[in-house]
Amino acid sequence: MAHVRFPYWITLILGTLAITAGAGCGDDASRRDLEALRQEVAELKSAQARMQATLESLQTTLAKARPTNTAEPPRAVDGAAAPTAAADAEPAPPPGDDRQAIVAIPLESAPRKGAPSAPVTVVEFADFQCPFCKANAGFSDQLIRKFPGQVQFVFKHYPIGKHSMAQEAARAAWAAQQQGKFWEMHDLLYGSEQTTFSPEVLRGFAEQLGLDMPRFEADYASARGAFAVAADKKLGKQVRIHGTPTYFVNGKRVGNPSMIAALAMVKQELAAFRQGDAPPDESLEAPADSGASANGS
């Protein structure tokens, strides 16, 4: 408990008063001065007591108002407790409950599909070597097929540092995007049985897509491509991405990084857009491990 302390000058007065009182008798003027000094000190003591009472009242009020720890326990994923740390994830940012925050994610130059004027925009941050991203790779097509004209899907690069060729794959996808073939390269990367992507494998994919190879090679090796991927990664860190895949629906983070959870939020946003009318009761053909946590990759 905090206490109000006497300022130095008040302590000096009290000491002087004690010395004067013990010095014996004086003349009448000295007695009058001494009495006035005693009265002033008494008033100061009374003020100190009032200040102490006010401080204690404030401390009690603040203690009652202080929030208790409301952090959720680790959520279960497919019946298993979520890990406390991600095996392949980036280092987690400082704690903060930002799941319901509306995040402004710039979409310029990002590959997308679906209607640009759609009322719902889904943004995915993904890594081409992430097995969970691979399992969810068909999510964009399924959404657009289920909700034609109502959803657009946007891809953002977030290559995890632990995945040695994720940066290379992202740059190859960016190079393919410069020739209008991002999604085709996206499908080849996720559909491949390859677990790593050497430059030779990536060039083979580009040839398979019929790309202009000199242009592809130049874009793949360019500083512009490296910068574009790095810019997405930096944006991901700014919006507190620490695992892939991570989805945002109309700027709202999907807490459970699964297709089913993202679909549920898409339906909520469509319902809100329709002023409460329930959207069609559609379901997606989710793979068996679609509920896997992003914390695994």
Instruction: Give the pLDDT confidence of 124-150 residue by residue, as tens digits.
Output: 999 999 999 999 999 999 999 999 999
pLDDT at 256: 84
Q: Can you give the C-alpha Rg of the chain in angstroms? A: 33
Residue bearing the bigger pLDDT, 208 or 161: 208
Q: Is residue 70 part of a domain?
A: no
| 279 neighbors 271 (Cβ within 8 angstroms) | yes
Residues 51 and 133 in one domain: no
* pLDDT at position 297 over 80: no
How do residues 19-46 score in pLDDT, each as one tens digit? Answer: 444 434 444 445 565 666 576 656 656 6
Dist. CA 262–CA 282, nearest whole Å: 13
Residues 134 and 259 in one domain: yes
pLDDT at 42: 65
Residues 53 and 192 in one domain: no
Residues 144 and 262 in one domain: yes
Choose one of 62, 86, 107: the last residue of a domain. 62
Categorize the per-residue pLDDT at 246 as very low, low, confident or very high, splitting at 50, 70 and 90.
very high
> Among 17, 58, 53, 60, which residue's Cα sits nearest to residue 35?
17
Residues 141 and 275 in one domain: yes
pTM (two decimals): 0.64
pLDDT at 276: 58
Q: Is residue 178 part of a domain?
A: yes
**Structural domain boundaries, residue 106:** 99-296
Q: In CATH, what number is assigned to the domain containing residue 259? A: 3.40.30.10
Categorize the per-residue pLDDT at 204 as very low, low, confident or very high, splitting at 50, 70 and 90.
very high
Q: Is residue 79 part of a domain?
A: no
Residues 132 and 207 in one domain: yes
Q: Tokens in use for 209? A: 């897509």
For the chain, the average pLDDT equals 75
Residues 51 and 176 in one domain: no
Other beta carbons within 10 angstroms of residue 81's beta carbon come to 10
Residues 176 and 44 in one domain: no
Q: Is residue 113 part of a domain?
A: yes
How do residues 151-198 score in pLDDT, each as one tens digit? Answer: 999 999 999 989 989 999 999 999 999 999 999 999 999 999 877 899
The number of folded domains in the chain is: 2
Q: Is residue 36 part of a domain?
A: yes
Q: Once rounded to an integer, what is the mean pLDDT over residues 76-102? A: 44
* pLDDT at position 257 over 70: yes
Total length of the chain = 297
* pLDDT at position 291 over 50: no
